[in-house]
Amino acid sequence: MQIDIGDKYVLTADQYQYIVQEKKTVKEGKNAGSEYLSLVGYYPKLSQAITGLIHLDVQLSDVQTLQAMEQHINRVALQCEKALNHVAETSN
């Protein structure tokens, strides 16, 4: 399983856990410009993986108010919902 969450994150899973990774781009060297995945965390439950992803994204954002934080959280949650719905639709 590999689910792209927006253009910034990837959710994968193995038999034990859900894994959240952040998409990054190599800046220098012979592989400059290529994409790689950076580990965010391992989570035993899907809900924990999504919560962890939202927490990270908010911490890395530049929100300055509680209202902006709420809007940011809702935006990331909607990206997760769309990605999971897309997977559910394509697997049927």
Which amino acid type is present at position 72? H
Percentage with pLDDT > 70 across the chain: 99
Q: pLDDT category, 89, cuts 50, 70, 90?
A: confident
Joined together, the tokens standing for residue 59 give 């911490």
Tell me the per-residue pLDDT of 25-44, one tens digit each, with 9 for 90 and over: 988 888 888 899 999 999 99
The model scores a pTM over 0.85: no
Specify the pLDDT at position 92: 65
Average pLDDT over the chain, rounded to whole? Answer: 89
Q: Specify the pLDDT at position 14.
A: 93
Q: Is the dihedral angle over the CA atoms 88, 20, 47, 5 positive or is it negative? A: negative
